[in-house]
Amino acid sequence: MDRPYLAGLDLTGRRVVVVGGGTVAQRRLPALLDVGAVIDLVAPEVTPAIEGMAGAGEITWQARPYETGDLTGAWYVMALTDRPEINARVAAEADERHVFCVRADRGAAGSASTPASGEWRGLRIAVASESIGPGSEHGADPIRAAVVRDSLLEWLRSGAGDEILAERKQARGEQTRADMAPQKLPGVALVGGGPGDPDLITVRGRRLLGQADVVVVDRLGPRSLLPELSPDVELIDATKLPRGRFMAQETINATLVEHALAGKFVVRLKGGDPYVFGRGSEELEACLAAGVPVQVVPGLSSAVSVPGLAGIPLTHRGVAHEAVIVSGHLPPDNPDSLIDWTALARLHGTIVVLMGVANLPAIAQTLVAHGRDPKTGVAVIQDGSMPAERVTVSSLAEIGDVAVRENIRPPAIIVIGDVVNRRPQEPTTT
């Protein structure tokens, strides 16, 4: 197969036979499941992940060696064992039955190949390498194809593809971005952007961001992704500064609804996860009440990811069997607070406090007053995951004074518990 002919296969509801149950099959099966193929897998043994797929009814597993006749009724075949003689038998039967077959051990010996593929705004991008001849330095190379695929997708997601297409459409007197997307997405997407590092947003979140007509973003979202937006994407700042400028939540809700009802696809880009003190549920309720379709894309919550990036586990065997996440935006003695600080003080595990920098001295004093050991470790992680990240470590008895002396500012995550002592790095402050 020196020059493969690239074509898209509709395998939805069609029988696909996979021979082999090792890690190669484990890598190939998800793509087949994603397109709705009916998968029969033949192998005496399989990896635990594949066994789990079979147990969940996602595939049918024939726990035996391959036999002639197994390809009856198949539309597509993958020979993925580590034994060339078996793969050759499978490929030979596939040829007899006029069924395309992929051979993992010798790609050129099969009648089909699997290109390196990816997706961008409803388009499937596929890169396949050719076998030009024995010994050729440009022979079939799946790694090279994957590198080209990744580079192309990165370029497209940067917005460069939009700009070039828009320029060409304008030169022909056609409409620009409105007609460029293969499929117009409806309504609103509440996207959790993670703690701030742009590499920590989910793949789905980044894909939806690239399809947005309007982006409503707060200051804790991954701001370095904003330059990648197409110039005609409307950007709305929904920042809420502590004790400073802010966009009221009611205004944010109304903005999402207004633009969605105008026929635009709106991405609400939030820091962390939309449902962990992100008021995402309020935004979802407002959209649903207005009849606006809405989807939620979870994100890495800063409550978990930021301590992890700083080397602090929230739980550790023999140290902490519980982790509690609370909001510290109200002091413990505030009558509107819904937190039972007395009960928290009796816990032996980890307490993670979000939005608590201003009230940290009062929180620490309250916990100590109700029984928490004053020597308990405390870490305050400012600007977590970002280049300016700073970790301040102290004890519960002293953290209030240390925070003032070190001029700790939000956004910061506060971790209270013996897990702080598991951080491998040297503390910045003691």
Active site residues: 218, 240
How distant is the alpha carbon of residue 35 from its chain centre? 20
Q: Is 7 buried (19+), middle (13-18) or exposed (0-12) by CB count in 10 A? A: exposed
Calpha distance 207→205 (Å, rounded): 5
Residue 216, number of CB atoms within 10 A of its CB: 24
Q: Which two tokens stand for residue 401?
A: 């004074």
Cα 44–chain centre separation: 34
Task: Identify the three-state secondary structure at position 63.
Answer: coil
> Residue 222, by phi and psi: left (phi above 0), alpha (psi -120 to 50) or beta?
beta
Taking the C-alpha atoms of residue 285 and residue 252, their distance in angstroms, rounded to an integer, is 12
List strands edge to edge, sheet with 15-19. 60-62, 38-42, 15-19, 76-79, 100-103
Burial 222-261 (b: 16+ CB within 10 A, else e): bbebeebbbeebeebebeeeeeeeeeeeeebbebbbebbe
Q: Is 283 exposed, middle or buried (0-12, 13-18, 19+ CB in 10 A)?
A: buried
Q: Which of 17, 9, 10, 32 minimizes the C-alpha distance to 72?
A: 17
| Residue 278, burial from CB neighbour count under 10 angstroms (0-12, 13-18, 19+) | buried
